[in-house]
């Protein structure tokens, strides 16, 4: 991955983390980059290594204390959510963790979208269809509409300008 993609992915993670916290949820970083990366001294660990690399980004506790694994992915364009690389990621994390997937895009509102397992509900070859709902409508997190609007404005301020010169 190039440094710009890594930065945008981390920005998307931070936006989702803070949005959920500001809506009254408890968010704990949990992902590979946060916990396991330094422990990955395993050689030829096979499925264990694959499972560790698929650890979701966060554990989110709603206001009632119910935990959910959450994986965040940034994609410029909502249509990019169906690229082969994204499908491979979804298949891997679904196999081991079944997290809620939050996709952040900067081309089309809603910028924050949730995909729930099983991810591939509309299974029609050659393309698998994903079913999304706006993060603002995710009942388990009780996202405050004013806070949500604030974070959509942050996407427009910090991520949308990066589209200049990009092919979507």
What is the rounded average pLDDT of the residues 78-98? 84
Band (138; pLDDT cuts 50, 70, 90):
very high
Q: Tell me the pTM.
A: 0.85
Peptide bond into 164 cis (omega under 30): no
Task: Name the band, by pLDDT with cuts 50, 70 and 90, for residue 119.
Answer: confident
Query: Residue 112: phi, psi to the nearest 5?
Result: -110, 120
Question: How far is it, in rounded angstroms, from Cα 59 to Cα 72?
Answer: 11
Q: How far apart are CA 37 and CA 29, in angstroms?
A: 13
- Of 61-65, 126-130, 142-146, the one with minimum mean pLDDT is 126-130
- The helix (H) or strand (E) run that includes residue 6 is helix 3-22
> Which of 16-25, 116-125, 132-141 has the least mean pLDDT?
116-125
Q: Do 14 and 27 touch, CB atoms closer than 8 A?
A: no
DSSP conformation class of 110: -
Give the pLDDT score at 50: 79
């Amino acid at each position: 991955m190039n440094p710009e993609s890594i930065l945008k992915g981390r920005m998307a993670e931070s936006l989702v983390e803070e949005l959920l916290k500001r809506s009254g949820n408890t968010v704990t970083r949990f992902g590979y980059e946060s916990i396991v990366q330094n422990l990955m001294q395993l050689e030829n660990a096979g499925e264990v290594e694959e499972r560790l690399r698929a650890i979701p980004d966060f554990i989110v506790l709603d206001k009632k204390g119910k935990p959910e694994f959450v994986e965040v992915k940034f994609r410029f364009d909502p249509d990019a959510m169906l690229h082969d690389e994204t499908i491979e990621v979804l298949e891997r994390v679904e196999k081991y963790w079944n997290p809620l997937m939050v996709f952040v895009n900067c081309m089309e509102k809603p910028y924050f979208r949730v995909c729930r397992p099983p991810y591939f509900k509309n299974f029609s070859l050659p393309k698998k269809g994903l079913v999304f709902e706006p993060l603002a409508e995710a009942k388990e997190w009780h996202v405050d509409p004013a806070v949500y609007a604030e974070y959509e404005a942050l996407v427009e301020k910090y991520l949308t300008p990066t589209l200049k010169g990009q092919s979507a």
